[in-house]
Structures are given as C-alpha cells and as structure tokens.
Amino acid sequence: MQHAASFFLHREPYRERFPNWQPGPKPVGFYSVNWLTEYVHLRQTNSVDRNSGAIARTQRGRTQDRKRELVEIAYRLIADNGLEGFRIRQVAEAAGIDNGTLHYHFASKEALIQSVVEHLLEDLEKNRCDHGKDKRPAALDELRMEFEDIRLRLHDSPEQFVVLSELAIRSWRDPVIANMFKRLDNGWYAHLEGLLQRGIEQGLFRKDLNIGPCARAIMVALRGIGYQSRLPRREVDALLSELAAQTERWIAAPGVSRPK
C-alpha cells in the first residue's frame, strides 16, 4: 500500500493522468507535508524567544548589581577623601575595571555623583527605628523615634553625615542635586508636620503650637547633631538626649509627663 505522504510528494504524475483535476479547499485540520518541520521550527523559535528573554533579564540584573557596586565604591571614596579629592578613575581602579567599562554604566562623573545622592536619599527616607509594626505609635513616641534614628545612624554609619555634608555643599551650585535634596526636605517636613498635628489631636502637644516653624526647628536641630559625628559616642548620646528632652519640654501639652 502506498504511503499517504507519497501521494502528495508525487502529485505531478497524478495531474498528468487526470488533467482536469483541481485541488479542493483544505479540510479542517489539514496540514501540509511540511507540518512536522514547521512545528519543530516554531517550537525552536519560541524556545529561543523565551531563552532570550531570560538572558536579557539576567543581564539587566547583572548591570544593576554592577552599577550598585560602583555607587557604593564612590560613596566610600567621597566619605574618605571628600568631593574635592574624588576622581572617577579611583572608582574604576577599586572595582577592577577600566574607564571605558565605567563610562558604559555612568556617562560622566556628574551622573555617578547623582546616583550616589539617590543612594543616600533612599536610605535617609527609611527610619531605622521603624520595625514595620501594624499599629502606628503615638505622636510623642514617633518624635522620639526621629531622635533615635539619628543616634543609630551616628553609631552605625557616621560616614553618612560626611557624605551628606559634602553633597549638600555641592548642591549650592548643582541644580540637579539641589532638586534632589529639596524633595528630601519637603518629604521630611511634611512628615514632621503630620506628626505634630497628630500630637495636638491626641492631646500630647500644645494646642497653640505653630506647626510649620516647629517642624523646621526640629529639622535644623537634628541636622546640626549630624555635624557632630566625629565626637565620641558618649558625647553624641548626651547631646541627643538633651536635645530630645528640650524639644519635648517645648512642645508637650500641660499635664503630659516631660523629661526632667
């Protein structure tokens, strides 16, 4: 018996025997003689597409990891040498790459510095005393967490305040960095305003408290403590404790227990 596929493969002799024959419409489910080849090709193409997507995601992940590594190296160099002594080639040397590879990730020294600012601000936006509790603490406890956050930063990463000071000075003549710091300040200010307002509503803070200037004063005071990062730990702790106590005496409502 002739194999069915051979009929299609040798269709020309059939046409000679039946010259008036015309192929009819393909029935549902009809496949060409090359269906197996086409199917295999389709599977291979889809497999390649899926693999290409996975490879691209892996490469993007590696690129992000390398960029993060370069930013952290730059951060440490700024902490050690300041911005005046910061050289982009030092970052490449510390990472074990050439300048061309570094410029692939950061087109300029300014772009790298801006990424250092983003890295720093992302960390500053997180309170190190906030352990993700479901219930929000009372406003007075939240205020105490602000001071405790600064204390932990001064203990664990005092270089952060060195880098912050260097970048703050640069922001005076760099509008891009200035806008980044402005967003940080606006967020912090709004957070403190909300905290003080909740304290008034909870009966913990004075009703006649002028919220705006009070929030600014707390920001200035906490920033000033940051400049004392070179002091011994005991002195820093004593300064922060006194500042927190004075702040509570200033804003606490009558009848609320205050530090002595």
Count, residues in the chain: 260
Q: Do 193 and 152 lie in a common domain?
A: yes
The predicted structure's pLDDT at residue 206: 95
Q: Which positions ≥6 away from 245 have C-beta within 8 Å? A: 258, 259
| Cα 36-37-40 angle, rounded to 5 deg | 85
Instruction: Tell me the range of 20-24, 44-48, 194-198 where mean pLDDT is highest.
Output: 194-198
Q: Determine, yes or no, domain membership for 196.
A: yes
When pLDDT is cut at 50, 70 and 90, the band that residue 178 belongs to is: very high
Distance (Å, rounded) from C-alpha 156 to C-alpha 34? 69
Contacts of 192 (CB under 8 A, 6+ apart): 146, 214, 215, 218, 219
Overall domain count for the chain: 2
Q: So what's the pLDDT on residue 38? A: 55
Mean pLDDT of 88-116: 92
* Mean pLDDT, the chain, whole residue set: 80
Q: Is residue 26 part of a domain?
A: no
Residue 2 vs residue 214, higher pLDDT:
214
Same-domain pairing of 153 and 70: no
Check which CATH number belongs to the domain holding 78 and give it. Answer: 1.10.10.60
| The dihedral sign for the CA sequence 130, 68, 172, 183 | negative
The first and second tokens of residue 169, run together, are 């000075």
Contact assessment for residue 180 and residue 96, using Cβ atoms and an 8 Å cutoff = no
- Of the candidates 181, 132, 128, the residue with the CA atom closest to the CA atom of residue 157: 128
Q: Are residues 153 and 108 in the same domain?
A: no
Please write the tens of the pLDDT for every residue from 203-254: 999 999 999 999 999 999 999 888 888 888 899 999 999 999 999 999 999 8
Q: Look at residue 73 and tell me if it is in a domain.
A: yes
Any domain includes 24: no
108 closest CA partner among 80, 88, 130, 133: 88
Residue 243 tokens, joined:
């500042």
- DSSP H or E segment with residue 242: helix 233-251
Q: Is the dihedral of CA 57, 63, 69, 72 positive or negative?
A: negative
Of the three residues 118, 150, 173, the one that is the final residue of a domain is: 118
Residue 113 domain boundaries: 36-118
Please report which helix (H) or strand (E) contains residue 42, including its range: helix 35-81
Q: Tell me: do 138 and 57 sit in the same domain.
A: no
**Domain membership flag for residue 9:** no
